[in-house]
Amino acid sequence: MKKKFNRITAFLVVVMLVFGIILSRLVHIQLINGDYYREMAEAMGEKPKTEIAPRGELLDRNGKKLATNKLSFAITYSYPANKKDEDELNKSLIEFINIIYQNNDQSKLIINTFPINYDSITKEFGYSFSSDSKFDVYKKIKNFKDNNDIKTSFDKNFDYSLIENMDNKLKTISKDKINDEIKTFDEKYLADFNPNYDAEEAFYRIAEEYKLVSIDEYGKITYKYSLAKEDTEKLHRVVALRYLLKSAEYRQYKDVYIAKNVSKETVWEIQIKSNTLYGITSQVNPIRYYPYGEVGSAFLGYMGKISNAEAYERLGYDVSEELVGVSGLEYALENREHNEYGIQLRGEPGVSYVKVDKLGRVIEEAANIEPISGDTVVTTIDIDMQAAAEKALDDIMARIRDGGFAERFRAQRGAVVAMDIHTGEILVLASRPGYDPNYFAESGRPQDDEIIKKYLLDNPEELNNDPYDTIPRPMFNYATQGAVIPGSTFKPFTAIVGLEEGVINRNTTVYDDGTYEYAKGAPPIKCWIYGDKGIGHGTVNVVEALKVSCNYFFNEVGNRLGFDRFAEWARKFGLTRDENNRRPSTGIEINESTGSVGTPEEIRKNMAKSVMKDIINTLKSSKYGGYTIEYGTAYYDELFNMLVEGSYDEKKINELGYTNKAAKNYIKSKIELVRKNAINKVDVLNMAMGQGYVALTPVQMAQYLASILNGGTRYKAHLVKRVLNSDGSIKKEIEPEVLSKINLKKENVDMVIEGMGKVTQELGGTARVIYSTYPIKTGGKTGTAQPGSDKIEQYRDNYAWFISFAPLDNPQIVVVTVIYDGGHGNYAAGVAKEIYDVYFKDDLRMQDYLAKKAQAVEGQ
């Protein structure tokens, strides 16, 4: 019986016909003419090529370029159609390496992703992994070898279960015990472990995997291609590049940088030999350039690799290739999701859609979108003043070290800040020793081992064994992060507070006999002159006290003010922590780690934290009930609050479950201890002369002094003056911002100015020798502060501080200088004068002085 021909049957017939046509077409393309179409695909392909946009320039206030861009040649690898042909890839890379070495561009290779190093001098291999713990280093090495399927002789003899068991154990213990546990493990199981033991063997196993060498069953190595045993360094570079390319295989459609900032000769030879260099091409890219080298590095910052990949990917960054600002303005003005300044140094990348042949060479451009440069930013910095400040600081520190001031001190680091009194603009921000950010501009990390050692202090063991902070750190910003005791340079603050509170006036005098006795039986505080000459300053008022830096006078002012009033004024000047114990801020755009003036509450909290440790450890014993108190719990918080408030609450103690009588009595005794001893009368006396609970950065010091001199307005410290459009017109003007305002009485401000003027102008002033004949009258205050007591004095010398302003009759600029281990405050005073030379260079009063100075320099 015939089946009826219906719609379903017709549909099935159509589907079968279409399927048959597709199948026949596939057979025709892939089997019959497969070779023809494969050659066409290899001969031409289309892919996007990203063009990095020039980064926005950073200029000084007069338009001089501080951070700009220069064109550089980069070498990239583009995965061609035959990317799986390892023989061609190896030949290309070896030829490329030979070209690189012929033109002395080997330092331009991007090989820092490969964790095995080779020292061409010692002929030794070593892992680049570092850690304080051998356990951590071993885990990193093991992870590297596991990921690359490498087995070495060491692996065959080591008991891996020890590592696994240790990992499991660390998961079960508290964080504060982990380091001790790892240290014990290192000493017990890894005492003889040399992290570089099998680096050479691991290297050759990877080279074998890449078919660059062969290794027989006896371990004999046979070199392939044109490489020989004496070319180990070149082999290492080829393996490192293969390792880089392997990690980037997933990015087939993007070029992989294998060298940056190479010479024209290298590019020229690569272009000539392009027929044999499969996938290797050259590009022209902008690279960050800092014309002044080290000068300004403290506020400019430097470029580095992206660490927070997810956040930057969302903003369109190519996290595998692009560099970003790591510190300073480069970091602060980097494009981020929450950039409060609305400034974007990174421009918009361009993109070209190009056709390439099977060798990865561009043969036609299909479409092109031009890159857009980043924002141009005019800073508040005067680079001439900046350069003068850094040179002066270096010269004076060298003079101190050489005994040029009659005594020798360590003096290896310091900072200088100059600020406009009426705007908060930073004119100079220097930290020494500095670094040259150009070393980071190519790949985000210096390639020279000596530079790495100099800048990055690549020796964790040495740094960890520096409890007294004796090692100068070039990458640390001593201007914004170095909060240290200011000594007598804090006395102008005490003076203005005493005058404003009315505890002293111009006619108030104090007789300084050399020793200030503040309590019966307590050791008196000695005035500095008593230590030098065994006498006091005699009768002094506030102006004279500032001139001669009389400790006794300011001890008395502190005594009359009391801790609470003193701390309240520190709060008004923005020098104290807030209610959440957060550091104060000057408002500066770059990263700062400020210090503070201690408050009664802060001091009680600090002592309470210390006492809480005693309570926790004591209550663990069975005698005191065997209680366990964890940080962050309600039990901890309740006891901590009692300590801070100085009030024992029996009811709360019972509610918390502390029923043991001995425990209760112990807690009660500790609360009483904090209540009686946290705040000591001597604390405010020490703070009044810049000692004790006072630690401030140079930027904070500049801001507090400027606030006094301008009558009480605390301006936000800032480094950005304006933002420009690409045609040079103003896109955004940064106006001075007032953070707080105190209405200081003019007569009180004038007394502080008068006293500081006597420091530099009158006989007996501690900086008179340097400034008494200077054409522009200035005011200043020296300060000498001890870094600590006991053992630290064997390793460190006194901080040398000098704060100043000019002109004396109409203050416009403040300059703050600190020299670590500088010995005496007056040694630091000369730095400011070099800054004033530049600031006042157009003042008629300076012309003769500057002409004679220039003649003296020429005659040397």
Q: If you classify domain 487-596+693-849 with CATH, what class do you get?
A: alpha beta
Residues 755, 803: contact at Cβ < 8 Å? no
Helix (H) or strand (E) run with residue 698 in it: helix 698-709
User: 602 vs 317, 568, 609, 688, 704, CA distance in Å?
Assistant: 43, 13, 11, 17, 21
Pairwise CA distance, residues 837 & 845, whole Å: 11
Secondary structure letter of residue 527 according to DSSP: P
pLDDT of res. 11: 67
- Rounded to 5 degrees, φ, ψ at 282 are -115, 155
pLDDT of res. 2: 47
The residue type of 123 is K
Nearest residue to 594 via CA among 581, 606, 608, 603: 581
Say what the pTM is: 0.84
Two tokens, residue 81:
């159609």
Pairwise CA distance, residues 115 & 129, whole Å: 7
pLDDT of res. 684: 94
pLDDT of res. 708: 98
pLDDT of res. 1: 42
pLDDT of res. 253: 61
The stretches of 506-550 forming alpha helices (DSSP H) are: 528-533, 542-548
Summarize pLDDT for 73-102 with one digit per residue, the tens.
Answer: 999 998 754 455 788 889 999 999 999 999
Enumerate the β-bridge partners of residue 484: 696
Two tokens, residue 513:
């006999």
Enumerate the β-bridge partners of residue 722: 378, 733
For the chain, residues with pLDDT lower than 70 are: 1-7, 10-11, 25-49, 80-84, 228-229, 249-253, 337-339, 353-367, 458-464, 860
pLDDT of res. 42: 46
Two tokens, residue 600:
């009664």
Summarize pLDDT for 359-397 with one digit per residue, the tens.
Answer: 555 566 566 788 888 999 999 999 999 999 999 999 999
Torsion of CA 673, 679, 683, 685, to 10 degrees: -130
Secondary structure letter of residue 291 according to DSSP: T
Q: What mean pLDDT is reported for the chain?
A: 88
Q: Tokens 């021909």 sit at which residue?
A: 5
Nearest residue to 241 via CA among 476, 80, 75, 474: 75
